[in-house]
Chain A
């Protein structure tokens, strides 16, 4: 992966997508020693409304720090899908939360769906880890960092009391996508 690879996480403010972006950037730049730049929507609109985080990863130093055409995008809500699932590269991919994005944007990219919030509630019992499930899913879909690097970065970020919870959430997101891809 010499070229720049751009990932966007979008959803509602408060869903932890900026944290997911930061963890991915840490996995790439601190664990894997690549180059990464992470940025996010900043301003009053980020609270409550649609929020996004972007991560650019490359083997080379990164010049322009914002997204140009996105290789992979996550949309957790319909509003985020409408607002941020745009500018996806031809052949790129979009992951949506099945229960919340009813009208997936159409384009020359692959759309994957997964009940992310429902999985967090039903299989982990904690909705709060939906962002980590989504992170595991996006890493499984993109291979932009290895499964192990992603997990290391997750564990570096979370408080000790929540390590098992997040480890489980990350693995679940990763496995679900691998099952999806195997179908």
Chain B
């Protein structure tokens, strides 16, 4: 049978990727430029026996997906910057209580309501540090409609595996442009389901240490009783202030991402073998960077591109190597300097680190990148 192929907007592709991954619950509150994700989920979830729930605001939407997740569902929420700001408290709750969920942020600039209809990439540090306290984050940055379809599935896999929130960051261009998307056949793409405990309800402790440092979850309603809280807790889920338990728990939550960075990180390297100038770009901006690399190569400039598909955890090791290899790393992003801070930190002065920013609601075009590269070299 021929594969299903369709011309889809990025937001639609994201929703279909979630459905492929087995998402059965969407909790949301519509906001430009993310609304089509909710729209498609509202049409498609009832067909697969799932639930679409529009809540009274973004905070309640986030609360709804956490509740559904604890009951065993794979869950999705989609929003934009203002909604993301509202959700931060509950994202922190999902981090500490280790609740699996995927949240899509179609970035639109800001602060506050910003420019709802313009593209932006200015929530990249919020994605890591938006909620308070030490915590790990997994954040993905796809760049095409096909990639959005596939990476949304990977976001679910990571969330299921590491029992934590995973964020997907898109911009308005990526969300609204239409491209051909090839739907995967069942079994073609990896779909990971959360590990479920094999212990009896009497033996079960939701946050006990295991070899994988991610304790298997027991869905509510399956006969297991346990306590969920935003307070630091002991293995049984009840609050604790015991110093060694608190420190151990905090460290474990950081370690489950840090020790598995190789599994979580994903990058594309383009023309980097002999590159003297490395363009660091993500999302739709990386498409301008690829165009710029091709043009610069025609002129004899040894340019290449490093494109993270996983932004957080930050690809520190590879960036450090590239800082040793190249004369310059040029970061292009639709903000006034966010991921460039990380590059600067990791490059440790071993190469020039330059930045191209744009916040007027227009995309960074290839010409802008080419000019900057020539200025830097």
Contacts and interface: CB of A to CB of B under 8 A. Distances in A.
Interface string B169-192: 000110011111000000000000
B6 A63 contact: no
How many residues of A sit at the interface, in one of the four size bands?
A: 20 to 34
Given A26-B7, A30-B6, A63-B294, A42 B284 contact: no
Nearest to A40: B176
B176 A65 contact: no
Contacts of A30: 5-7, 180
Interface in A52-101: 62-66, 68
A50 B300 CA distance: 41
Interface stretch (B94-102, B156-164, B205-213, B285-293): B285-293
Contacts of A29: 7, 179-180
B6 A66 contact: no
Contacts of A39: 173, 176-178
A25 B178 contact: yes
A36 interface: yes
A37 B365 contact: no
Given A25-B7, A40-B176, A42-B176, A63 B287 contact: yes
A contact patch SS: mixed
Given A22-B178, A37-B178, A63-B294, A68 B7 contact: no
Contacts of A63: 287-288, 290-291, 294
B33 interface: yes
B contact patch SS: mixed
Contacts of B291: 63-64
A63 B118 CA distance: 20
A106 B173 CA distance: 30
Given A22-B178, A35-B180, A36-B179, A68 B294 contact: no
A20 B282 CA distance: 30
Contacts of B287: 62-65
B171 to A, nearest CB: 11
B288 A38 contact: no
Contacts of B366: 64, 68
B313 interface: no
B363 interface: yes
A68 B288 CA distance: 11
Contacts of B125: none
B365 A66 contact: yes
Contacts of B116: 43
A29 B5 CA distance: 9
B288 A64 contact: yes
Which of B118, B173, B178, B179 counts the most chain A CB atoms within 10 A? B178
Contacts of B180: 29-30, 35-36
A42 B178 contact: no
B363 A66 contact: yes
A77 B143 CA distance: 34
A30 B183 CA distance: 13
Contacts of A22: 7, 178
Interface in A1-42: 22, 25-26, 29-30, 35-40, 42
A44 interface: yes
B117 interface: yes
A36 B284 CA distance: 15
Nearest to A65: B177
A38 B363 CA distance: 15
Contacts of A68: 365-366
B177 to A, nearest CB: 4
Contacts of A26: 7
A64 B177 CA distance: 11
Contacts of A65: 173, 177, 284, 287
Given A37-B179, A63-B288, 20 more contacts: A25-B7, A25-B178, A29-B7, A30-B5, A35-B180, A36-B179, A37-B178, A38-B178, A39-B176, A39-B177, A42-B176, A43-B117, A43-B118, A64-B365, A65-B173, A65-B287, A66-B173, A66-B363, A66-B365, A68-B366
13 contacts: A25-B7, A29-B7, A30-B6, A37-B178, A38-B179, A40-B176, A42-B117, A44-B117, A63-B291, A64-B290, A64-B365, A65-B177, A65-B287
The 4 closest A-B pairs by CB, nearest first: A43-B117, A29-B180, A38-B178, A63-B290
